[in-house]
Amino acid sequence: MWLTVLLALIGLTEGVGLLLVAQDSSELAGIIRSCGRMLANAWVIYGLIVWREVPWVRRFGVLLLGTAAAQLLALVFWTMGWTDMVIATAGAYAMAVIFYAGLWLIRILLSPGVAVFGVARTLIDEALRMKVAMVFIVKVAILIAVFPFIIDQDDFLKYRITSFLTWSLMATSALLSLMTLFLAIATISREQVQRQIFLTLTKPVNRAEYLVGKWLGITLLNLLLLSVAGAGIYAFTMLLNAQPARDDADRMAVQSEVLASRHWIEPTPPNPDELRLMYDALLESAREDDPERYGSPGDPPDTVTPADRNDLQQKVMLQWFSIPNLSWKTYRFNNLEEARRFNQPLQLRFKPKLAGSSLNGFVYIGMRINGRMYQKEGITTGEGFLKLAENNFHVINIPPDIIDERGGMSIDIYNPAPGGQRQPVLNFNPKDGVEVLYRVGGFEENLARTLVVIWMRLVFLAMLGLAAGTYLSFPVASLVCMLVYFTAAGNAYLAESLQYYAAFPKDSVPFFQKILWLISRVIQYVSEGEFYDLFKLVIKLIASGFMLVTPSFGDLNPTPLISDGRIVPGHMLYRAVVWSGGVWTGFVGLIGWLIFRSRELARVTV
Amino acid sequence: MTQASTQHADPTKTPLSQDMVIKCIGLTKVFKDFWLRNRVKAVNDIELDIRKGEVFGLLGPNGSGKSTTIKLILGLLHPTAGRIAVFGRHPRDVKNKQRIGYLPEETYLYPFLNAYETLEYYARLFHQKRGIRRPRIETLLEMVGLQHVARRPIGEYSKGMQRKIGLAQALINDPDLLILDEPTSGMDPIATADVKRVIVSLAERGKTILLCSHLLSDVEDVTDRVAIMYGGKVRRYGQIDELLEQHDRTMISTPALDPQTEERIIRALEAEGVCDTAITRPRQRLETLFLNIVAEAQAAGVVTSGAQSGGTIATFLATGDESADGGDDLIDQLTTKTSSSAVDAPHSDTGHAENVAKAHEDEVIGSLTNNKDEPTKKPHGTAQPVEEQADTGLIDSLIQKKDPPKP
């Protein structure tokens, strides 16, 4: 009725107005139209008040009030001359509208009479109406809207966009992770304490469906929130991109190094055996120095423990990325066929560093690309060397036609003695000190991949929280989940720390011998009163066991990649979807279900 | 497994009679503490058979094990010993749940959902399609008198209102077995009477109802059989009329008599050797008085800002006819609400009262002429005393008969 009257009112006044205009009574037509608009507005307000309980009217009313509030706020900022805040308000409003529309879509999706959908839908209502989740959602929206304006406005545009992407994605990921854990734990533990679960599980819903429904609700909510956050991040990135750059190079860097999706190729030695020969030589040297640890000279190479092998390999890589003075080193970049096929320019990105004092903060290098000396105006000295700021990343653009028939490219780097002054050893970081990058896609696709990886992490966390909540109370489950979360996030760092924390037998030692070693070591520590060493050993055992069953999120961190304009690789996407979203989630869910299915939900009440 | 449990046959594996809905054999529940020491024996070796179509009352004081027994039947607790079958299946079998409605002792609803959303949630759990669930929800809200606050969050409801919405959710699937744990706690007498009407109506349709309460008058009005529990054990068990009947007393009920007639009756009885005789005026029940006052006030159009009394029993519950729940039927239902309410309400219907009076008259005649017949089964929700002008001529003629009493 509301809509009918509204449409009739508009139609009638507009119709009369048109008739009056046709009869040259424009003034009267204007008055009639104005009256009609006033009446229509009054009718809209009347409807919003009278039919406010009708769901779609309420939704419309909220949207209308939100729009009015955003406009008012923007007007206030505009009046005060805070243009940035006007933009931030508009962005936050747009995110809110997307969120509202997405929520409506999810409700429609979950409206069929299916038990799992019913549980999922109620979970979403709980998340939004119980305020806990809303706090996190509002925080994400505000942070994304405010970040672009708290970054140093005088910095290079490239770094401003990089900083925004890093911080906004980190904040989104961290806040949604916490929200997911708290929501998952709270929903299931609170229902057991407050006994709503009695009513749900006395309906034709089995416990697996109940868990899946809860998980589905959180997962869909996360999808919605990530979509909103993604839209906000994209919009504000574009907004930053529209701002003036420092210079042409800065603008070009933004387009080619940040708002891009680039493959990167790490160098390999021209001779495939070079690294192995270096390793063998280093191992022999180590065995002569410490035969107890590395074995006797001449022993087979695989008798070294994985940890020691890894240690030696790192040393080899450091050595390979070091160039003594007056020496050349060749780095080969293979698998560049794709760049040649799509005619994409290559970017040689490197960060030179000297092992000793530099000459006025500069480092001098000689460079040949596929045998041709590279020179560039402005940075090439009279001796033909490149003069570069030390410990800074430098990018050299190389046309794709330089790629050879084998689909690769060789770079020779020379450590010279400019003006007769010898430079210390020249180093590059083995991880990203020298590499070649080329564009394979746009920023949008990469952002989507990033969000998928983050979503898959949240998918796992949702199930982890639910599984913990099936048996543990809210505080205990929260502590356990936080422990798992931080262990997963810092898995690589923890593994390295534990390696040096307490002595332990080599990996090659049989399990039974390890047990005997442990017993003897415990007896030794107790008899000698070395209780601190005993404590460290126990801690190491517990931590190692815990890490064994905890997934590693270190391999699922796309934020540094997208911030640096690198493509989120397919293997990371695969690992996120299959392992985090599939295997780990399924495993944790299975454990949760096994506990939950046989659990008595009621307590003693007599 | 305990010895007790191994001694009992598994009722889920042994064939039950067609009309057996719940069967408990040697049911025992012991709650243990953290160290697995026995802490409380909440239910102690009880046997229960609840048949299709009966209203079964589970009575007992607080802490007697009623709610624990219900939770065992619903699969929320596992028995320490003994066996349970619900519709011949394990209590946790999901297929059973499709046929069960449950109202717990407290209303465990989501405070952030409103009444409509709450019923929609539970309807979804029963896999009800939109076309079925929406009319049902509307009808149930109408029935419990909460349609005007259907969009308010449950957290803002009073306890009585929450109980009503709890009852509505228990009925959303038109259950074959309705388990009501203290259904009238927190409800006013009007709502209590509505609940009893629902119970009676469902029982007439052959539904089975397990009613658990310590409000004995409520149970007495509607149940066929009862089990009285104390200390986790069933102390008495059987037909409510049999349990309540005082075999050493006889009560004659007549319309009001004048003192001379009373005197003559006493003398007649004394002549038969009956000495311990008393004639008293029966008291109207307070519930009846209350409901009559409210009905009169409503008939007079007195406005109240408090809870409205419920509407008619939802058609899908009263008749089992799903198609009658929506559209024109609902309108018909609403337009005929007053008359049908009057028919359903036993205390305000003249025709019904006449039938009751006639039955009483027959009882008086039967009692005095044959001393005692088999007690007729009490119709659900009836058997209230009715005051009428005394027919002394009839009494006189009866006294003159002076038939010898049967043993």
- Tell me the longest C-alpha to C-alpha distance in chain B: 76
Q: Of A561-570, B108-117, B317-326, give the lowest mean pLDDT range.
A: B317-326
Query: With an 8 Å Cβ cutoff, are B108 and A198 in contact?
Result: yes
Chain A residue with minimal CA distance to B132? A113
Indicate the DSSP class of residue A142: H
Interface test with B, best of A116, A597, A605 (most B CBs within 10 A): A605
> Cβ distance A86 to A75 under 8 Å?
no
Give the pLDDT confidence score for residue A495 in this predicted structure.
Answer: 78
Chain A residue with minimal CA distance to B43? A606
Q: Give me the mean pLDDT over the A508-523 stretch.
A: 80
Query: With an 8 Å Cβ cutoff, are B109 and A117 in contact?
Result: no
Chain A residues in contact with B67 by the CB 8 A cut-off are 605-606
Task: Report domain extents, chain A.
Answer: 323-333+352-427, 444-597
Chain A residues in contact with B154 by the CB 8 A cut-off are none
- Rounded percentage of chain A residues whose pLDDT exceeds 90: 43
Chain A residue with minimal CA distance to B32? A604
d(CA B165, CA B141): 8
Positive or negative CA dihedral for B334, B336, B338, B340?
Answer: negative
Interface test with B, best of A199, A209, A598 (most B CBs within 10 A): A199
d(CA A579, CA A571): 11
- pLDDT greater than 90 at residue B9: no
Distance from CA of A127 to the nearest CA of B (A): 10
Query: With an 8 Å Cβ cutoff, are A112 and B78 in contact?
Result: no
Q: Give me the mean pLDDT over the A428-453 stretch.
A: 92
Comparing CA positions, the residue from A147, A107, A106, A128 lying closest to residue A229 is A147
Chain B residues in contact with A606 by the CB 8 A cut-off are 31, 40, 42, 63-65, 67-68, 232
Mapping DSSP onto H, E and C, the string for B209-236 reads: EEEEECCHHHHHHHCCEEEEEECCEEEE
d(CA A130, CA A136): 12
Backbone φ, ψ for residue A264 (5° rounding): -130, 145
Domains of chain B (ranges; CATH) run: 3-243 (3.40.50.300), 246-282+349-401 (no CATH)
Give the pLDDT confidence score for residue A509 in this predicted structure.
Answer: 66
Chain B residues in contact with A122 by the CB 8 A cut-off are 110, 113, 121
Give the mean pLDDT of chain A.
88
Chain A residues in contact with B180 by the CB 8 A cut-off are none
Q: What is the pLDDT of residues A270-319, one digit of tens each?
A: 787 888 899 989 999 988 888 888 888 878 777 777 778 878 888 999 99
d(CA B353, CA A396): 104
B33 pLDDT band, cuts 50/70/90, is confident
Give the Cα-Cα-Cα angle B222, B226, B228 (nearest 5 degrees): 130
Structure tokens at A31: 């008055």
Of A125, A204, A600, the CB nearest to B98: A204
Q: What is the pLDDT of residues B263-298, one digit of tens each?
A: 888 888 888 888 888 888 877 776 777 777 777 877
Give the pLDDT confidence score for residue A387 in this predicted structure.
Answer: 92
Of A113, A195, A203, the CB nearest to B108: A195
Beta carbons within 8 Å of A436's beta carbon, 6+ residues apart: A264, A265, A267, A333, A336, A346, A347, A348, A349, A398, A409
Query: With an 8 Å Cβ cutoff, are A199 and B63 in contact?
Result: no
Comparing CA positions, the residue from A477, A466, A469, A482 lying closest to residue A550 is A482
Q: Is A121 on the interface with B (CB under 8 A)?
A: yes
Query: With an 8 Å Cβ cutoff, are B74 and A202 in contact?
Result: yes
Quote the distance between the C-alpha of residue B56 and its chain's center.
Answer: 8
Question: Listing from the earlier edge strand, what are the strands of the sheet with A394-398?
Answer: A260-265, A434-442, A346-350, A394-398
The three-state secondary structure class of B103 is strand
Query: With an 8 Å Cβ cutoff, are A113 and B128 in contact?
Result: yes
User: Residue for token digits 């009808």?
Assistant: B139
The three-state secondary structure class of B63 is coil
Beta carbons within 8 Å of A134's beta carbon, 6+ residues apart: A127, A128
Positive or negative CA dihedral for A555, A559, A562, A566?
Answer: negative
- Rounded percentage of chain A residues whose pLDDT exceeds 70: 99
Give the pLDDT confidence score for residue B296 in this predicted structure.
Answer: 80
- pLDDT greater than 70 at residue B11: no
Query: With an 8 Å Cβ cutoff, are B125 and A119 in contact?
Result: yes
Distance from CA of B8 to the nearest CA of A (A): 22
Query: With an 8 Å Cβ cutoff, are B124 and A205 in contact?
Result: no
ipTM score above 0.85: no
Query: With an 8 Å Cβ cutoff, are A206 and B94 in contact?
Result: yes
Give the mean pLDDT of chain B.
74
Question: For chain A, how many residues are written?
Answer: 606
Beta carbons within 8 Å of B131's beta carbon, 6+ residues apart: none
Indicate the DSSP class of residue B34: T
Q: Is A117 on the interface with B (CB under 8 A)?
A: yes
Q: How many CB pairs under 8 A join A and B?
A: 111
Give the C-alpha distances (Å, rounded to integers) separating A284 from A276, A290, A303, A314, B85.
12, 10, 12, 16, 75
Q: Which amino acid is at A198?
A: F
Structure tokens at A67: 């729009």
A209 pLDDT band, cuts 50/70/90, is very high
Give the C-alpha distances (Å, rounded to integers) separating B302 from B146, B161, B299, B337.
19, 21, 8, 18
Please state, as a whole number, how many other Cβ atoms lie within 10 Å of the Cβ of residue A394: 15
Q: Considering just the CA atoms, what is the radius of gyration of chain A in Å? A: 32
Give the pLDDT confidence score for residue B309 in this predicted structure.
Answer: 57
Distance from CA of B343 to the nearest CA of A (A): 33
Q: In B146-205, which residue ranges form alpha helices assigned H by DSSP?
A: 159-171, 189-204
Distance from CA of A455 to the nearest CA of B (A): 27
Distance from CA of A570 to the nearest CA of B (A): 39
Query: With an 8 Å Cβ cutoff, are B124 and A121 in contact?
Result: yes
